[in-house]
Amino acid sequence: MKFISWLWEIPLSVASWIFFHDMKFILGRLYTFALSRMTAEAYEWKTFSRQTLARPFVLPIIATKGPRWNTHAILLTAGPLEVEEKMSFDVAAAQASAASWSIVLYANPGYQTVASIESFDVAQGEQSRDVFLKPGLYSINARYFGVSAQPVAPSVRIDGIEALRATAIDRNANELYTDLYRRGGWFYLALHYYVFHMLRFRRFLPQSFVRREFLPVGDPGTTFRYGAIRAGEHLEIEGRPELLEHYDVYVTLYNRSSFPVASETIRDMSVSMAPVSGDGFYLFRLRRKAQTDAGYRDEWLNVQAVRGPLADEARYRSASSVSR
């Protein structure tokens, strides 16, 4: 029966992959055109929120540009900004605003990752960090994990002149993920139909291909673990003491349309998440803590998608909604 199902699942997955990349090309051009017209907004920090998704075409653009939604970090964006030599960031403001954070620069219009500043690389008491760049246009993505009571986006200077002012952030912006999965439909399912089967058969595929297709837009300071999960299965998560000593661990579960359906910060070495109601996939984000320089080791984290009784019935996590 499995072989028979593959006769139609594999061709549909190939068609989905083609459809996704066609839409990514078309919507990417639309996104680039829109950015070229938003010259005033480029010099303002924007917090990703429900208001962002209310704009025309934003949801389908995100569904092709960065479909593995980060439910754990508040996302801040700015740009594209013209730079001749360097950008300077008020890292002290970022340090005071989040327990863990990253600022990543992307070259326009191709959106290649060119540089990043990570919270675990910033020395205590450091006020500003310079990033030297080739002349060109650059976009900024800042990700704040574990925000403080009054978080702010950092001020940014370009070639010695203030370009972005420090801006207060809505610390509840990620509430948009609580019901995002309800926005699904045939379009988003068709876009991401291939992802589940790609992860199911990843051992037969080049790992570079799987990583390129699945992982989010580049964040060099984050380590990822990921895989497929079938309807009725649940995740059993076992971590070594070294893992939680040196890393913050976050996991998000997605449905077949790549919308988040559950989210958890892992604070215990043994966690069972509740069974999922439909096929999908999971993504772990591991962020190194500031007080350590330990490199991540795969044996520190054991993840299994299993069917059967929960290992810890009293501590299971609900997979019916997304939590911060």
> Which pair of tokens denotes residue 195?
């992802």
Mean pLDDT across 152-164: 95
Mean pLDDT across 30-46: 79
User: Residue 112 — very low, low, confident or very high, per pLDDT cuts 50/70/90?
Assistant: confident
pTM of the predicted structure, to 2 decimals = 0.87
- Percentage of the chain modeled with pLDDT above 90: 62
**CA pair distance 5, 1, nearest whole angstrom:** 6
Mean pLDDT across 167-188: 90
- Per-residue model confidence (pLDDT) at position 318: 40
Q: Nearest Cα to 234, choosing from 317, 147, 144, 126?
A: 317
> Which pair of tokens denotes residue 216?
């989010």
| CATH fold match for the domains 41-52+68-175 and 184-315 | yes
Domain ranges of the chain: 41-52+68-175, 184-315
Domain 41-52+68-175 has CATH 3.40.30: no
The residue behind tokens 């299965």 is: 233
Consecutive H or E run containing 105: strand 98-107
- Per-residue model confidence (pLDDT) at position 310: 58
Among 43-47, 187-191, 309-313, where is mean pLDDT lowest? 309-313
- Per-residue model confidence (pLDDT) at position 5: 66
CATH class of 184-315: mainly beta
Consecutive H or E run containing 264: strand 260-266
